[in-house]
Amino acid sequence: MLNISMRQMRTLLAIQKHGKISAAARAMGLTSPAVTLQLQQLEQELGCQLFLRTKSGAQPTEIGAIETAYRMVNELTSLEETVRAHKGIAAGTIRLGVVSTGKYFAPRVIAAFTAVHPGISMTLVAANRAEIIQKLHDHDIDVALMGRPPTSFKVNATLFGDHPLVFIANPDHPLVGRLDISKEELTEQKFIVRERGSGTRSSLEFFMSDTLEGLRTTPTEMDSNETIKQAVIAGLGIAFISGHTIEQECRAGSLAILDVVETPIRRQWFSIRHASRTSTPALQALDDFLRLRGPSLLPVLSKPYPASPSQF
């Protein structure tokens, strides 16, 4: 029977996360020699090297100890929260990550959830899709709110609401007020788009892929929804964007939704956990809350949806 402590497991995860023993020690409030000793004792117990010491930092070997450490810490966290829940104490911590588009409604979700579960604390990280997927993979967050679930590793996904994608323009744009604008007409427009790899950019390219010539002008790339909205307001072109990012601007009359055929494109929002992340009472409470209350916390567009969700 291996004599391994949870402190050693947490030390292992801290070194993996921060890349260097000195940085892991600072994060844990320990000295570097103390962290080194923990690692040496663990390696001696296992009889193998867990990290390669390089000039750039500590690189995990292929032993698989990192995933085991995650599972052990997750199981202990789940046990602690289950015991507290059994005692009638609703508590826990959830590290929530959202893709850039989600930051427009995530604070609303957190406020409503913590009002129902005041003993559960939440932290929020917003980043682009690739970064959120990486954080989920590395267990730096517990839950991710995003569109298409990642396919590079196993996840558990919970659907909690529709996600409309629309074309927008400055209210003075000639297409505003027109009905049933065709895709062919859009090819003549100047477009402002998100960076390649973003979910919105991929949906736009798929949506326009069946036009004969595609976009006739080179689109201007911008790396944030806020920048794109300001560019459209300034009259620099039209854009394809999440309907959940433009609630305030549409109410204020600074942006208008174009009536393009087959839009809004109806995608969906998911709450996603790494498949190896053990569910806790706090995480289950969030899943249940999103199923029941999630749709009502999302911004609402006045333009009706197509009859069924799109697979774009």
Q: Provide the terminal-to-terminal Cα distance of the chain, rounded to the nearest Å.
A: 51
Residue 91: the pLDDT is 63
This model's pTM is above 0.85: no
Residue 311: the pLDDT is 47
Residue 109, beta-bridge partner list: none
The values of phi and psi at residue 97, to 5°, are -115, 140
Separation of alpha carbons 196 and 145, rounded Å? 20
Tokens of 215: 């976009």
Residue 8: the pLDDT is 77
Q: Are 195 and 223 in contact (CB under 8 A)?
A: yes
Q: Are 240 and 202 in contact (CB under 8 A)?
A: no
Contacts of 203 (CB under 8 A, 6+ apart): 165, 240, 265, 267, 310, 312
pLDDT tens per residue across all 312 residues of the chain: 566 777 777 887 788 787 788 888 888 888 888 888 888 887 777 777 777 777 777 777 766 567 767 677 676 766 666 666 555 545 678 899 999 888 888 999 999 999 988 888 899 999 988 899 999 988 889 999 998 899 989 999 999 988 889 999 999 999 998 888 888 888 888 889 887 777 788 888 888 877 755 566 678 888 888 999 999 999 899 999 888 888 888 888 899 999 998 888 888 899 999 988 777 888 888 999 999 998 888 876 655 444 455 544
Separation of alpha carbons 61 and 40, rounded Å? 14
**How many other β-carbons are positioned within 10 Å of the β-carbon of residue 110?**
19
User: In one letter, which amino acid is 2?
Assistant: L
Closest CA relative to residue 288, chosen from 174, 143, 152:
143
